Amino acid sequence: MKLSEERLKKLNDLEERIGYKFNDIELLDFAFHHISKVNESKNKNYKSNERLEFLGDAILGAVFAEYFFKKHDEKDEGKLTKLKSMVTCEPSFGYAAEYFDLGDLLIMGKGEAKSGGRKRISTLSDTFEALMASIYLDSSYEVVYELITVKHIGLFMKYLETSSLNYKSILQNYIQRELKEKLTYRLDKSVGPDHDKTFYVTALCGANELEQGVGKNKKQAEQDAAKNSIIKMGIDFE
């Protein structure tokens, strides 16, 4: 499928941002084929990037495992595992995807796009994984390793710094990795006048209630609920 000049320019701009020039530009384009477009497409040969997501997840896991293994020879297996899990997670990859502005390049169905799919963290995270897989297939593991751990490691270290006290990210990562469940938040109530409301939110692990949090807005209440849940569950976040 021939790419338009406008599409090529967007892809070339991304190559500049990430610091890698593709041999096969269509492989880069393929990383942005969302499953919703496949469902709407009349072309039966049109495929999504889901297989690339699978591969990219494994590659990024190996990259960060090797990086932390080499960088922290004083840390034991448990601490290395914790470090790796904190950075190889949906919020981290979503953060990277936002930094590289991947959402603008997504090819998705009209319904998905209209519902905010280009900004959805889960979709952005998957897209980042697909992008890394496309670079791997176009080059090698060593190229991906250098891109992540040399050219862009500061991005992920910044994420770790900003998320170190982000209780929602810590709880979400733990629940996804360890419990294989989905973390959601339920607004229980808000009390007080419009200019001075107090919000009460409960964190949910699947269908199970965790702890409640309180805040002057929903985000603060969700962070408080996450923090209370982390403490109650005895999750190590130091």
Instruction: Tell me if the pTM is above 0.75.
Output: no
* Together in a domain, 128 and 176: no
Lowest pLDDT segment from 63-67, 88-92, 208-212: 88-92
Residue 54 pLDDT > 90: yes
Q: Cα-atom radius of gyration of the chain, to the nearest Å? A: 20
* Together in a domain, 79 and 48: yes
* Together in a domain, 109 and 146: yes
One-letter amino acid for residue 217 of the chain: N
pLDDT at site 9: 96
The predicted model gives 98-111 an average pLDDT of 94
Q: The domain containing residue 98 runs over which residues?
A: 5-163
Instruction: Name the range with the highest mean pLDDT among 29-38, 78-87, 223-232.
Output: 29-38
* Together in a domain, 177 and 61: no
CB-based contacts of 46: which residues, under 8 Å, 6+ apart? 33, 37, 38
CB-based contacts of 66: which residues, under 8 Å, 6+ apart? 145
CA of 77: how far to CAs of 17, 74, 157, 217, in Å?
A: 34, 10, 20, 39
Domain membership of residue 123 (yes or no) is yes
Residue 216 pLDDT > 90: no
Counted domains in the chain: 2
* Together in a domain, 42 and 54: yes
pLDDT category at 163 given cuts 50, 70, 90 is low
pLDDT at site 1: 63
Residue 7 pLDDT > 70: yes
Domain with 57 in it: what CATH number?
1.10.1520.10
Domain membership of residue 238 (yes or no) is no
Active site residues: 57, 129
pLDDT at site 40: 75
* Together in a domain, 178 and 151: no
Domain with 172 in it: what CATH number?
3.30.160.20
Domain membership of residue 204 (yes or no) is yes
pLDDT category at 237 given cuts 50, 70, 90 is low
pLDDT at site 164: 54
Per-residue H/E/C for the chain: CCCCHHHHHHHHHHHHHHCCCCCCHHHHHHCCECHHHHHHCCCCCCCCCHHHHHHHHHHHHHHHHHHHHHHCCCCCHHHHHHHHHHHCCHHHHHHHHHHCCCHHHCECCHHHHHCCHHHCHHHHHHHHHHHHHHHHHHCCHHHHHHHHHHHCHHHHHHHHHHHCCCHHHHHHHHHHHHHCCCEEEEEEEEECCHHHCEEEEEEEECCEEEEEEEECCHHHHHHHHHHHHHHHHCCCCC
The predicted model gives 97-102 an average pLDDT of 96
Instruction: Name the range with the highest mean pLDDT among 41-45, 179-183, 230-234.
Output: 179-183
Lowest pLDDT segment from 26-30, 191-195, 200-204: 191-195
* Together in a domain, 39 and 59: yes
pLDDT category at 81 given cuts 50, 70, 90 is confident
Domain membership of residue 147 (yes or no) is yes
CB atoms closer than 10 angstroms to residue 79: 13
pLDDT at site 170: 84
The predicted model gives 145-174 an average pLDDT of 86
pLDDT at site 13: 97
* Together in a domain, 177 and 157: no
Residue 12 pLDDT > 80: yes
